[in-house]
Amino acid sequence: MTHYLEFEKPLAEIEGKAEELRALARANEEMDVEQEAAGLDKKAATMLVDLYKNLSPWRKCQVARHPDRPHCKDYINALFKEYTPLAGDRNFADDHAVMGGLARLGDTAVMVIGHEKGNDTKTRIERNFGMARPEGYRKAIRLMEMADKFGLPIITLVDTPGAYPGKGAEERGQSEAIARSTEKCLQVKVPLISVIIGEGGSGGAVAFATGNKILMLEHSIYSVISPEGCASILWKDAEKMREAAEALRLTAQDLLKLGVADTVIKEPVGGAQRDRTAAIEAVGRALETTLAELLKKKPDALVKDRRKKYLDLGSKGLAA
Amino acid sequence: MNWITNYVRPTINSLFSRREVPDNLWTKCPECGTMLFHRELSENLNVCTGCDHHMALAPRERFEALFDGGIFAEIEVPAAVADPLHFRDQKKYPDRMKDARKKTGEKDAMLVVEGEIGRTSVVAAGQDFSFMGGSMGMYVGNAIIAGAERAVALKRPFILFSAAGGARMQEGILSLMQMPRTTVAVEMLREANLPYIVVLTHPTTGGVTASYAMLGDVQIAEPNALIGFAGTRVIEQTIREKLPEGFQRSEYLLDHGMLDRVTHRKDLREELITITRMLMGLPPAVMGELPKPDTNSKTDDQPDGTPAEDAKK
């Protein structure tokens, strides 16, 4: 069943009607509804294109968080061969909000690391909705160190509302873990490519997304704070999230202008959730191109370029 | 000042518990409620003489007390793009900046300087919580980078006093990008084998804690400072339980292995001198403050306060 977003309600009605007609026709063979249904399909298709042509920042947030969007696990299963998960931070626990391990992209052995949100109640709880604890970041650090040691490129898939705000997480050094993970990203002498596949939530995202190249899906977001959080602090009203989403410039398109994102990967019409295969394939192609480009660089140049990228960032602002 | 302003007036004030204190000569300790005379308070580095509560101390005042003879030189920080996102909430960002500049007399929330403490050359950076909550934007990032570059050029240790609610939302993603940017600055120090010492002051939270403020070679905190990633209220709402007494405070972090030391503000200077000198391979500082017990020594008659000097002299 399709999960419709609030702004897709009119679309849901039309598609629902078409579906109803076809169901009727199946029950009653004498009815011929195909023409009418096809008309509705066409109307729905036009509406979908229109809706997604100019998504407002707040709508983008909703799409980025869409439960049917392909998640980290889907990308890993579809794009990588010989995926061998590696677990644990060797100190405290294995954080299921972060998955990672050895894998092959094409023939190239890589280290892939990402946030996994889960796709039903059970797995969402298991994955803590993609909110990592210090163990998750420390696992990532360990895997990045291993990749660095054996010269394997690192690919991170970012999709998190943010780092987990919990008691134990604070006690075990959530901020230190994030800071060290960001630091590790800056140190490794192998290519580091980050793909923001959905939500790039604040420091929890930075810890994985400090890379040579940042790729963002067309309807993904990356922000210092959630629009709801920003609205409740600056507007003193969490309901002003539309305004906050607008002001924060968190869309892939704005981030490309600001130089934070290097590439925006086009999504199928209606978002990655409507055609998961096409979305995953698009990410695969972008990864292959970017990796081939980065593999030409020497280890020291990779470190130097990465640092320069961040030092130079923001010197122009949003060219209005 | 006569005894009327020094004694009688505050007594009357406290008796009638007037909320407005004329001329801001008196500060009420938020912790124990004692009325503190401003000069006494600033001489005590804004620490309550009654209960030792550490109040905010602006970087400029801190550096005046920290550096030998109160002398330091500011390091120039490259200007940041003003209002890079054209951000507007209930107020325009440039207006908020104007207000903060007027209120503090500072350019932005970070002051970077160089000078000597106990005749030990250092570069220091101080974050100003009174400037938009000390929030980290492009300028703060530029300041830390400028400080680190200067420290590397002069081969000096870098001491950073943090105080911030986190990233500056009005600079959106660019404020978030100060996390990796400032981490690059920390990397520069690390590669030059220069000590990077962080002193966490109240409060240090959010993206600031999750980047440069937690990456020091030595992590010191002032007593009872709030230090953490997420806000206390957010955590309580998430886990739906009350947090323990002292949660996210310096002493709690020390107990959980997240800090090296918790140090009273009055002891900080000496401690920083001791640590930086050891890490820099310098001989111990000669602390000239205390008179020697030897009665024959002429130094007894000399006034106190001789600055510490290099033993190699």
Q: Is A44 on the interface with B (CB under 8 A)?
A: no
Cis bond leading into A165, ω under 30°? no
Asked whether the beta carbons of residue A235 and residue B89 sit closer than 8 angstroms, the reply is: yes
Rounded CA-CA distance B82/B171 in Å is 9
Domain identity same for A109 and A187: yes
Q: Which residues contact A296 (CB under 8 A, 6 or more apart)?
A: none
Which residues are CB-contacts of B112 (< 8 A; sequence separation ≥ 6)? B74, B75, B77, B123, B124, B125, B143, B144, B146, B147, B150
CATH number of the domain encompassing residue A307: 3.90.226.10
Shared domain check, A251 and A106 = yes
Q: Which of A2-11, B120-129, B251-260 has the lowest mean pLDDT?
A: A2-11
The pLDDT tens digits of the residues spanning B99-123 come to: 999 999 999 999 999 999 999 999 9
Identify the structural domains of chain B with CATH numbers, from first to last: 23-55 (no CATH), 57-279 (3.90.226.10)
Model confidence pLDDT, tens digit, residues A295-317: 999 999 999 999 999 999 988 77
Mind telling me how many Å the CA of B237 is from chain A's nearest CA? 9
CB contact under 8 A, A170 and B238: no
- Domain residues for the domain of A30 are 13-53
Q: Tens of pLDDT along A16-59?
A: 998 888 888 887 777 777 888 888 889 999 999 999 998 999 99
Q: B84–A317: do the CB atoms touch at under 8 Å?
A: yes
What is the ipTM, given to two decimal places?
Answer: 0.94
B309-310 and B261-262: which strand pairing?
unpaired
Query: Looking at the structure, do residues A257 and A304 belong to the same domain, yes or no?
Result: yes
User: How many distinct structural domains can be found in chain A?
Assistant: 2
d(C-alpha A54, C-alpha B91), whole Å: 27
Chosen for mutation from B135, B145, B160, B179 (greatest number of chain A CBs closer than 10 Å) is: B179
- CA B157 centroid distance within chain: 16
Whether the predicted pLDDT of B22 surpasses 60: no
Q: Which amino acid is at B89?
A: D
Q: Which residues on neighbouring strands pair with residue B226, listed in sequence order?
A: B249
Residue B51 annotated in ligand binding: yes
User: Where a domain ends, among A5, A34, A53?
Assistant: A53
Interface contact B248-A307, CB threshold 8 A = no
Residue A233: list chain B partners with CB under 8 A.
169
> What does the pLDDT look like over A117-127, one tens digit per residue?
999 999 999 99
Are both A173 and A75 inside the same structural domain?
A: yes
Q: Which residues of A touch B175 (CB under 8 A)?
A: 224
Together in a domain, A114 and A148: yes
The answer to whether B94 is annotated as binding is no
Which residue from A175, A225, A234 is facing B229, i.e. has the nearest CB?
Answer: A175
Where does residue A49 rank: exposed (0-12), middle (13-18), buried (19+ CB within 10 A)? exposed
* Average pLDDT of the segment spanning B61-76: 96
The pTM of the full predicted model, rounded to 2 decimals, is 0.89
Burial A22-38 (b: 16+ CB within 10 A, else e): beebeeeeeeebeeebe
- A1 domain residue, yes or no: no
Chain A: nearest CA to B169, how far in angstroms?
7
State whether A255 and B229 contact (CB < 8 Å).
no
Q: B65 to chain A, minimum CA–CA distance in Å? A: 30
Residues A188 and A149 grouped into a single domain: yes
Q: Does residue A4 lie in a domain region?
A: no
Residue A163 contacts B, CB cutoff 8 Å: yes
